[in-house]
Amino acid sequence: MTKAAPFTQADITKLLKGAKAAGMTVRRITIDRSGRIIADFADTPVEAGEPNEWDVVFKK
């Protein structure tokens, strides 16, 4: 008897469509043995809003 796949093609499609809708570019998708899906996104410029008081504490 075969084991059911921990993920489906539909799971990957949802991830890609969601990322595209959010304006993000997926650089790489990694799937581990347990079926956990990890998406690596390309560096895209983020629109800067007003500075936050915590920006001083957590410098990039």
Half-sphere exposure (Cβ direction) of 39: Cα atoms closer than 13 Å: 16
What DSSP line would sit under 1-60, residue for residue?
-PPPPSS-HHHHHHHHHHHHHTT--EEEEEE-TT--EEEEEPP-PPPP-S--GGGTTS--
Residue type, 12: I
What is the reported pLDDT for 14?
A: 95
pLDDT score for 11? 94
Q: Which pLDDT score is estimated for 47?
A: 58
Residue 59 lies in a domain: no
Asked whether residue 38 is domain-assigned, the answer is yes
Domain extent, residue 35, equals 7-42
pLDDT of amino acid 46 = 52
Q: Is residue 50 part of a domain?
A: no
Residue 26 forms part of a structural domain: yes
Domain count, the chain: 1
CB 41 within 8 A of CB 28: no
How high is the pLDDT of residue 51?
A: 72
Residue 29 covered by a domain: yes
Consecutive sets of 10 residues in the chain, 60 residues long: mean pLDDT of each?
87 93 89 90 66 73
